[in-house]
Amino acid sequence: MPRAAAIVRDQAVPLDERVLIARILDGDRVAGRQLYEAHAARVHRLVYRLCGDAELAQDFTQDTFVRAFDQLGRFRGEAAFGTWIHRIAVTVTLNGMRKVKRLRERETTLDDDAGLGTVSHRSDPDLRSRIAAAIDALPEGTRLTLIMHDIEGYTHAEIAESLGIAEGTSKSRLFDARGRLRQALAAFVKE
Amino acid sequence: MTEDEMDERTREALRGYRVPPPAPLDDMWDAIEQRHFGTPVVALADHPKAKARGKGIRRWFGPPSWAVVVAGMAATLMIGVSIGRMSNGIAPVFTYEPGDGRYDYWSANAEPYRQATTDYLGETAALLTALPAAARDGQPDARFVAHAGDLLSTTRMLLDSPAAESDPRLKNLLEDLELVLAQLAQLPPERRGPELTLIAEALEQRDVVPRLRSAAASISSDDN
Does A77 contact B at CB distance below 8 Å? no
Chain B touched by A6 (CB under 8 Å): no
Cα B135 from Cα B133, distance rounded (Å): 5
For B60-99, letters b (16+ CB in 10 Å) and e give beeebeeebbebbbebbebbeebbeebeeeeebeeebeee
**Rounded to 5 degrees, what angle do the CA atoms B182, B183, B184 make?**
90
Burial A35-49 (b: 16+ CB within 10 A, else e): bbbbbbebbbbbbbb
Residues of A in contact with B21 (CB under 8 A): 48, 54
Rounded to whole angstroms, how far apart are CA atoms B162 and B152? 18
Which range, of B22-31, B71-80, B152-161, averages the lowest pLDDT?
B71-80
Mean pLDDT value across residues A147-163: 91
Q: Tell me if A138 sits within 8 A of A180, measured CB to CB.
A: yes
Average pLDDT, chain A: 80
Does pLDDT of B188 surpass 90? no
* Longest CA pairwise span in chain A (Å): 62
Contact B54 A55 (CB under 8 A): yes
Say yes or no: A13 contacts chain B, CB-CB below 8 A. no
User: B25-76, pLDDT tens digit by residue?
Assistant: 999 999 999 898 885 433 333 344 434 443 333 333 333 343 444 444 445 4
Question: Length of chain B, please?
Answer: 224
CB-based contact A37 B25, cutoff 8 Å = yes
Number of CB pairs, chain A paired with chain B, less than 8 A apart: 106
Determine the Cα–Cα distance for residues A1 and A11; give it in Å rounded to an integer: 15
pTM here is 0.50
For chain A, the residue count is 191
Residue A40 with chain B: CB contacts under 8 Å: 23, 25, 28-29
**Contact criterion met (CB < 8 Å) for B18 and A127:** no
Q: Closest Cα to residue B117, out of B72, B78, B148, B163?
A: B163
Contact predicate B82/B219, CB 8 Å: no
With both helix axes pointing from N to C terminus, report the angle between B142-159 and B168-185 in degrees, rounded to the nearest 10: 150
Contact B41, B195 (CB under 8 A): yes
Q: Do A151 and B17 touch (CB under 8 A)?
A: yes
Are A33 and B15 in contact (CB < 8 Å)? no
Geometric angle at alpha carbon B107, from B102 and B109, rounded to 5°: 140
Q: How far apart are CA A124 and CA A107, in angstroms?
A: 25
At residue A7 the predicted structure's pLDDT band, cuts being 50, 70 and 90, is very low
Contact status of A103 with chain B (Cβ, < 8 Å): no
Question: For B96-129, how does the pLDDT look when each residue is reduced to its tens digit (9 = 90+)?
Answer: 334 444 555 444 445 566 677 777 887 888 778 7
User: Does B203 have pLDDT greater than 50?
Assistant: yes
